[in-house]
Structure formats: C-alpha cells, structure tokens
C-alpha cells in the first residue's frame, strides 16, 4: 500500500512539473512571438517611412526637372522674343533712315554699320550690305544727312562690304571751296586736309567744303565738312584743315549711293 501511494505521489509531482514546464515554454514562446511581431512591426514602419520619404523625394525631383525644363523653354522663348524685338527695331531704324534719304534723287540702299573695332573705324569699317544688295567697289557712302563718309572698297562679300572713310590716310577725293578745287586727304585721325588749293585768298574758318565731282566717284555738291584752320602748303598752294561733317559716334546707318 505504501509502495503504491509513493508511486502515485511521484506521478502527481511529475504531472505538476510537466504543467509548469509547459507553461514556461508557452510563456517563452508567446513572449518570443510577441517580440518578433513587435520587431517586424517596427521594421515595417521603418520601411514604410523610408518608402514615403523616397516617394516624396522622387516627386520633388520630378517637379524640379519639370520646372528646369519649363525654365529652359521660357529662356529660349525670351531669347527668340528679344531677337525678334531687335530685328523689328533695326527694321524701324532702317525705315527711318530711308525716309531721311528719300528726299535725295539718288538710287541708294541703307546699311547698318558693323563696329567690329571702334578704334580702327577711322581707317576702315564694315556694313551689313554686299554684292547681294548691288554693292560694288568705289560707291559713295554718306550719313543720313547726306554728308560724305567715304567709299566702298574690298573686301566685298554677298552680305557685307568694307568702307574706307575720308579720314583714312590713303583716301583721296575731289573737293572744292570758294577759292577753287583740291584733293581732300585723310590723316588717320578725326580731321582731314584739303591740299592743292591755289593761294588767291585765305578761306575763313567755318566755311563749308563740298565734293567737286572731278573724281567721278562722288556726285558734285555733297557736304564734306567745314574749314578748321588754314596753313601755307608747298609752293603756291594752301593746306586747309577740314573737320568732317559726319560723326563716328552717331554713325549707326549709312546710305550707299548706287546711282547718281
């Protein structure tokens, strides 16, 4: 009897131990699962937040690219509008220039002065008209008031031509004053000189100087400038200092006389 009770008691203790072990295992498993679930939830939150941030950055980047493209398009349109505005402005200026020269009886075209090197304009400058506009060598060039500027010289291209102003030291045109006719030469500076005028009387400062027409390049009677100073030249001639009537500072358009 005593042996059977002992075995029964041990069985009860064993069952109790199993129960405790089961509860401990279940508690541990439950705790572990809870930790795993909590960690997975946190990882999911982190991934979701990262995805949202990435999506936001991609959206911002896309909008920035679109804004950059739109900005480039607007700049391109603005540049085209400025070019069109410049073209229309030049057309208007050219038309105004034509109106000022239409009172003359010449056949002419108006050309814009291209100031490639302003320091050398007294020697040579270019205009935006050439063979395609009927330009050839040795045509008279005047400002918009009809004052002599110079003549066309080589090089002459299809849409451009060089102009040798009367201030060029190699320039020589027929000129006249009241005292007679002579040759107007340039100095490379802002003034010119009228040579080979016979000494009959000394001309006065401020008297006008005109083309004589004897060089067969310029029509007779064009305004060249006015007398600044008179000196005695070689032999029986006078050397007359002449200030040109045109100004390089305001020379934007010129008239090229095709026929006179």
Interval 172-198: pLDDT, tens: 999 998 878 889 999 888 889 887 776
pLDDT along the chain (260 residues), means of 10: 56 64 57 57 68 78 85 85 76 70 79 78 91 95 93 94 94 88 88 76 85 92 92 73 91 91
Which domain does 42 fall in, by range? 1-103
CB contact at 8 A, 195 and 239 = yes
d(CA 31, CA 23): 12
- Is 65 found in the same domain as 34? yes
18 with 141, same domain? Answer: no
Tens of pLDDT along 200-230? 667 788 899 999 999 999 999 999 999 998 8
Could you identify the residue written with the tokens 């003549």? 151
84 HSE (CA, 13 A, CB side): 6
Same domain, 90 and 115: no
Domain count, the chain: 2
Query: Do 82 and 200 fall into the same domain?
Result: no
Residues 6+ apart with CB under 8 A from 136: 152, 156
CA atoms of 162 and 151, how far apart (whole Å): 9
Same domain, 219 and 239: yes
| Residues 33-45: tens digit of each pLDDT | 556 555 656 766 6
Of 52, 79, 103, at which residue does a domain stop? Answer: 103
Residues 129 and 185 in one domain: yes
- Identify the pLDDT of residue 132: 93
Statement to judge: residues 94 and 110 lie in one domain: no
Q: What does each C-alpha distance from 259 to 130, 133, 251, 255 come to in angstroms? A: 15, 13, 22, 12
Q: In which residue are the tokens 């095709």 written?
A: 258
Q: Is residue 54 domain-shared with residue 120, that is, in the same domain?
A: no
Tokens 């006015």 locate to 226
Q: Any idea which residue has 């070689």 for tokens? A: 234
One domain for residues 76 and 122: no
Q: Does residue 204 share a domain with residue 130? A: yes
Q: What is the pLDDT of residue 150?
A: 96
DSSP 58: H
User: 85 and 112: one domain?
Assistant: no
End of a domain among 103, 129, 152? Answer: 103
pTM: 0.65
Residue 97 sits in the same domain as residue 110: no
């Amino acid at each position: 009897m005593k042996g059977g009770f002992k075995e029964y008691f041990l069985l009860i203790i064993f069952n109790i131990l199993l129960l405790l072990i089961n509860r401990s295992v279940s508690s541990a498993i439950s705790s572990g699962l809870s930790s795993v679930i909590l960690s997975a939830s946190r990882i999911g939150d982190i991934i979701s937040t990262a995805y949202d941030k990435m999506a936001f950055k991609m959206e911002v980047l896309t909008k920035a690219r679109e804004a950059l493209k739109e900005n480039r398009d607007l700049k391109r349109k603005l540049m085209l509008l400025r070019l069109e505005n410049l073209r229309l402005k030049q057309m208007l200026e050219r038309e105004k220039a034509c109106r000022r020269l239409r009172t003359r009886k010449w056949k002419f075209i108006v050309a814009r002065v291209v100031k490639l090197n302003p320091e050398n304009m007294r020697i040579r400058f270019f205009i935006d008209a050439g063979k395609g506009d009927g330009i050839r060598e040795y045509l008279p060039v005047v400002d918009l008031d009809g004052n002599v500027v110079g003549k066309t010289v080589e090089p002459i291209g299809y849409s451009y031509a060089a102009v040798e102003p009367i201030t060029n030291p190699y320039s020589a045109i027929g000129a006249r004053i009241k005292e007679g006719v002579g040759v107007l030469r340039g100095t490379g500076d802002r003034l010119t000189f009228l040579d080979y005028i016979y000494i009959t009387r000394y001309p006065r400062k401020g008297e006008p100087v005109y083309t004589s027409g004897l060089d067969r390049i310029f029509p007779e009677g064009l305004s060249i400038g006015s007398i600044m100073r008179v000196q005695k030249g070689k032999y029986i001639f006078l050397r007359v200092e002449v200030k040109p009537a045109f100004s390089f500072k305001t020379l934007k358009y010129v008239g090229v006389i095709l026929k006179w």
